[in-house]
Structure 1
């Protein structure tokens, strides 16, 4: 009995360090898309258009909250975010409910978020709704289509 216990203990002692170096498995595609969305929020909070742009595919399009025109190339997307960072200092975003659907190597995340920024020393907020369409590129989910619009007021 004692020798069996020693064998089990030795086996565990040898296998536990190996687990520490094992690659982490993905929790699943929905969780990966949620993580990509969080990465977008973190990049947006860094006031660096190139960090945000890196999360979009080369052929991505954007209907932005702050612009009446469709942005359909990388220069136009970069210009959109550079302008947003200038007119909305300290821009941040917090996500509300998200509805993520995955269709193979394509995913859609729809929901609402609240933007905040600093103006005249005060934090201002504006709620908006969004749809991100992602495509899987290697191990990453890239944004291929992004629509964002101000949240409408409820009917009176």
Structure 2
């Protein structure tokens, strides 16, 4: 009888412990879910921080490209203005050279002086032509650089 009574008490204890075990299990599940949610939140915050950093970097790249474009535009404008100026100077030197090479009874001076002046004008004209060619090449290079910067700006804008 003592064993039957002890068994009955044990059975009652197990039955009454059931809700406690369920409550403990539910509590552990809630803690695991909370831990998982905290981990996911921390991951999301890290991803957000990384995305914000990427946006800041892309904006900096865009702003740099925008500034580089302004510089390139100024360079192109300067070179485009210089070309007609050089062409005009070449024309003026050519006119002087034509005058020097013209035979005129009114002109006073030796042939040596005329030759020296003509050689000086020819050298000046050649120097201006070389500068003009160099300027045209610089303009071509500046336009290519501008296109590259524009592409860089588009890539930064797409980020």
Q: Which has the higher contact order (CA 8 A, sep 6+)?
A: 2
| TM-score (structure 2 length as normaliser) | 0.23
More helix by percentage:
2
| TM-score (structure 1 length as normaliser) | 0.23
Bigger radius of gyration: 2
